[in-house]
Every structure is written in structure tokens, then in C-alpha cells.
Chains A and B, each alone.
Chain A
Amino acid sequence: MDKFEISVEQQKFEVEIKSPLINASGKIEVLVNGKPIFVKLPGRELHFEDWHFIEVDSQSFELDIDPELRWIKSIDGLHRIELSKPGESVARPASGDGRIKAPIPGLITKVFVEPGQAVNEGDSILILEAMKMENVMSAPKAGVVGAINVSAGKTVSLGDVLVYIE
């Protein structure tokens, strides 16, 4: 069975899934840092976005799993997760590839940078106006500004790539 490395809030775990996801008993054995944990899924469907409760070691948890697997919300708050195969770099944090995408549709009202400009993580890149507020979008990582696809006055749709940080 496949192995993964998972971080939950900076803590790293080595996880190995020992049972097929769909099996007769409905329970899945998972080794987390060598410790066996038994998980019972709420159904036989693999639509994890719809799993709103799950039984782990006989305890039920209500939760909400991000379709992009960046986080899991449980009864004690929001847990950021990062997944990778051992030895590979982190699989898919939202911003790892340096593309700043529009998270909501809106209007670009100002761009603070130019192509070729060096930026640090957190520097203001542009302002996206939506839901009656001005939202400053910042650099997800340090780097050099590459292509800028927008300018002030441009309307953008959800998911449009606005700026590349290389």
C-alpha cells in the first residue's frame, strides 16, 4: 500500500494505508508513524468532500475536508495539511508554484509591481476589489515578478492567473 508524508500544523507524519479504501468491513487500517489507527468512512463513496463525519478509533468526528486538501476543519478549528510522497517535495500547497490566481471574481484596482521586480514573501502585489472591499493580494513566496496579466481597471474571473512570481 502507498506511503505518504503528511504535515498537520508543522508536525510531520509518515502514513501508510494498509487496507483497500473499499472493503467488506468498512474499516481502513492506517499506520501513522507506525501506530495503527482504524478509520471508518461514512459511506462507500469516495467523495471525501461530502464526508461530514468520520469515525476514527471508535470516536466520531464532525469535519469538513477541503476539496483541494489544503485543510481539514474539525471541532477544534482549522488544520492546515500538506501531503507528499516520501522524498518528493511538497505536493501541492496552494501557492507553491508562484502563480497568483484570482480567488474570487472582481476588479483589479491597482498593481504595485513591475516585471523583473524582486519581491519578498508577503509584499503587496495588487489590489482586487470584490464584495465591496479592497483586498490586497501578497506575494506567496520570495522571488522575481514574471508576467503580469492584468492592470488597473481589468475585471477578472475566479481562477484567472493574475501575476507569476518566479
Chain B
Amino acid sequence: MFKKVLVANRGVIAVRIIRTLRDLEIPSLAVYEESDYGSLHVLLSDESAQLPEAQHYTSEKQIIKIALKHGADAIHPGYGFMAESSRFAEACHAANLTFLGPPAKALAACSSKLEIMEQAEGFGMKVLPHSQKSFAPKCLAEISASAQKLGYPLHVKASAGSGMRASRLINGPAELEAGVEIASREAQITFEGEQVYLEKWLTKSRTIQLQFLIDKSGKMIVLGTVDVTMNKHNRRFLCEAPAPGIELAPELISSCEKLLKQIGYIGLGAFEFLLDQDGNYFFMELQARIQNEHSAIELLTRLDLVREQIKIIAGLPCTSEVKPTNGVTMQCRIYAEDLLRQSLPSPGVLRRFRLPGGPNVRVDAFAYGGCVIPERFDPLLSTIACWGETRHDCLVRMRRALRDTAITGVKTNQARIQVLLQEGDFADGKYNHDTMLLPHKLSFSDKFDDKLAAIAAIAFCAKIQRSGLHKPERLSGGWHASSRSFND
């Protein structure tokens, strides 16, 4: 198919892609910035090239240069970074490199959210009320007037954006200015454009993803639906497939197919819809890349979606039929974040990094014990997905998998996921976008409390004793009135 593929990405998705390339016996070429020296994608690829100082994973020219120098004939962009950049896809094409993503013109069509929404409407899909135009962040008066007209709550979103990045929920006029500022700045960093637009928000709604493959003959295969509602601080962290209790109307699927054909889309991607309480689907976006949640669908369909994507772009036909197995899958994302500090990222060096295994458990990690989690990038450490014959089986398996997981050295969101799997709306299968708005507990059992109190007291003593250890008489383990230092 291809003689060598450069993977223009890092972390979890780069490792994922390299694994498929290995399975296809296609040599892989990794690139890395200095802070990713020793990162797993570099260790696992066949060849690697360090990006020169001041060059990044988004340095188009440099990456193309490296590909040509090393004799690669294709580049896989992963997700994020340049995955949805029509300019990069064009540049690859101009350099005679195959871009392993949708064609440049399809990417261009998807890159303006307002335009793709208009196209979706043209094919009969509903969209949420939104501002008719996009705004520069400094036009606050105009934005405010538009917000007033649409009504709150609403989202301010990057006009050239995708996914949850560069978007903020605004509940009322007091939050508008800060929200516009933040969304616009993130838009500038991630999507190279500071323009934003406004879109009405519906409370108690759910976000449903429809993953698909479409080959060069225009034949679309529906891979399945995923409920991707669960998120906190704009980071998704827990999903399930199929999306419970829903069935997409054939007309909606047919509209999706027509839209894809219209813009000349080829390969792998996903539609995202907002589902309201009355069962209406509103087109939100077409994500022109592989999804982080793809492993949930892979467990259900037994397909390797990266492989299918590469085959399609190489001109081979789509896998002829997708036979989803019965059952339910769930996938969670383990992030290096501090749950006690509003999920601020928590870079550092990993100490323990033990991930689960066993039947029907699938792990996609890029980290390993002792590796550095750099501060520059997305804090995703691993995804963990499980399959179960019923939703309950899947839930119990996910609990087992999270119980088996031990990560220290950085703080993670593991506890949040564990509690949601154990009790509450997600465990009961009755969740929506309002579920995560309230604060949640971070532990689910109170039976350890007096034991934990004992442990905490001992740790505290240990800390005090250690700080007084320079005095020889301390070593006998006794106390001295002068061994203070409650403050560090």
C-alpha cells in the first residue's frame, strides 16, 4: 500500500497508528519535539526524526521535508494538530505525499462550522439556532447583541474549530466576556483563527456521535453510535457505544451520506449531533478525522479502523459489511489532571503506571513507568475500553479495569471515573449534559475512613520525623517537643 508512513502526531494516537502500521507491515517514521524525547511513539516506530528546535508537530514544511528526506510516501496526521488542515493536506499532495485523511477540499468544507451547518441544513438536517456570522473577539458589542437575541444558555465556539476545544458554555451575560476571551485564545492556539460564533445550548441534552467509513466509490458504512456526553472542564472522559436507547432514522443517515458525497469526503470520520429531550437530532459538526472514541467502536465491530482508513485511501474497497457484535462498550480517558484544583493539568514524571488487562479489556496508552509527562501537550495518558454482553456487564468490567489501574507521580482523573462507574446517573444509564454540572464525590465508600485516618496520622508523623532526622536522637523513633514544622 505505502512504502513508509510518517506519523505527524504524538502520544496515544501516534502509538495507535504505529501499531496498525506494524500490523500492515508498513515501516513507520515518528517525529518528535525535544520534550517528547524517549516518548513511546518514538520508541515503537521503525525510524524517528527529532524536529529541530523551534519546530513543532504543526510545522508543516519541516514535517514534509522530513518525510521526503526519509523516503516516506504518506503522512498520517492522527487527530488534533494538522489532522483537519486543508492547507496541510494540499501541501502533502503538492509534495507527492499521500495525506492519510480526507481530501483537502472536504477538509476545507468542514473547516467552517457555519458553512458546514448550512450544507447540513440543505440536506434536511436540523441545526441549533446560531449566530448568522462569526465574530472577531474584540467585537464584544456585536457578540453581546447576538447573544441577547439567541438567548442563554449558549456556547461560544471557534468558527474553524472541532470537538470541545475552543468552546465555552455561557449561562448569562456576566460570563460572556471571559468566555469569548478564552474560546478565542484557544481557537488561536489550536485552530489558527480567533473568530468565534454563538450557538444556542439545550439543557439536559446528549451528544451522539455517528462514526462512519466512506470509500472512494461513495459507499458509506455506518460503524455505530457513541454517546459522548460525559465531559468536565471541556474534556470528554467517558463514553459508551452504542448510544443507549437511540435509533437513528434512515433519513438522517441518508442525509449524512449525501453530505459526505457532496463535499467529496473519503475515509474515516464522525458526525456529532445534539439530542434533545424530545428526541430531535441537531447537526453539530462533521469531525474530519479519527476519533479518540474509536476504540469503543473497534471493540464492538472487531475492525481496526486505522487499517480500514488506510486501505480506503490507498484505493481499496471498504470492508464489505460491518457486523456489530451484540453487547455494549465503554471507554474512558485517563488524564494527568488535578481533581482538587479544577482539573488543572498535572505534568511530571510517572512512578507507578500499571494498567489493566484480562478478558475484554483494551488499553491504549502512550506513557510508561518512569516517563516524562511534558507540560506542553494534551494531558491524555491512556484510554481504557471494555466490552460487556450487557450494559451492566460492561459497567462491572470497567469497574474492575479501573480498580486494577494504578498511576502515581502525576495526579489523574481516575477517581472521578471510578465514582461515576460505581453510582449515580452514569451508572444508572440516565445521564445528560446537566449531569456533570454539579460537583461530584471523588470516592464511593466510607468504610475506609477510620483506617485512612490512621494512615494519614502516621504519614504526618513520618513527615515530621523526617524533617527532624538530622538530629541523631530522633532515630530512636521517639518524640521531641521541638520537632515542630507543621508548615512546609
Contacts and interface: CB of A to CB of B under 8 A. Distances in A.
Question: Do A and B associate with each other?
Answer: yes
Interface residues of A, number: 75
Contact of B443 (A61, A77, A136): A77
Contacts of B466: 46-47
Contacts of A110: 178, 181
A59 to B, nearest CB: 8
Contacts of A54: 455
B190 A8 contact: no
A15 B454 contact: yes
Interface residues of B, number: 64
Contacts of B342: 135-138
Nearest to B409: A64
Interface string A62-91: 111100111111111111110101000001
A92 B487 contact: yes
Given A52-B406, A72-B456, A132-B190, A104 B443 contact: no
Interface in A1-56: 1-2, 4, 6, 8-9, 11, 13, 15, 17, 20-23, 28, 30, 32-33, 35, 37, 39, 41, 46-48, 51-52, 54, 56
A104 B345 contact: yes
B335 to A, nearest CB: 10
Give the most central of B234, B339, B377: most A CB within 10 Å: B339
Nearest to B412: A73
Contacts of A133: 165, 186, 234, 345
A70 B419 contact: no
A11 B442 CA distance: 15
Given A9-B446, A104-B375, A52 B419 contact: no
Contact of B453 (A32, A71, A131): A32
> Taking chain A's interface residues, is the majority helix, strand, or loop, or is none over half, making it mixed?
strand
30 contacts: A2-B461, A4-B460, A9-B441, A11-B449, A17-B458, A23-B477, A32-B451, A32-B453, A32-B454, A39-B458, A48-B458, A48-B462, A52-B406, A57-B451, A62-B406, A65-B459, A70-B340, A72-B456, A77-B415, A77-B443, A77-B445, A79-B443, A83-B456, A91-B487, A92-B488, A104-B344, A130-B345, A131-B376, A132-B378, A136-B178
A77 B344 CA distance: 18
Contacts of A91: 486-487
B450 A37 contact: yes
B52 interface: no
B449 A9 contact: yes
A89 B320 CA distance: 69
B182 interface: yes
Given A9-B446, A104-B375, A37 B451 contact: yes
B418 A77 contact: yes
Given A124-B178, A133-B186, A78 B408 contact: no
A102 to B, nearest CB: 10
A56 B459 CA distance: 13
Contacts of A112: 178
B87 to A, nearest CB: 20
Interface in A98-150: 103-106, 109-110, 112, 124, 127-138
A124 B339 CA distance: 18
Contacts of B460: 4, 69, 83
B456 A74 contact: no
Interface in B204-263: 234
A41 B454 CA distance: 12
A135 B444 contact: no
Nearest to B447: A76
Q: Find the residue from B190, B453, B458 having the highest chain A CB count within 10 A.
A: B453
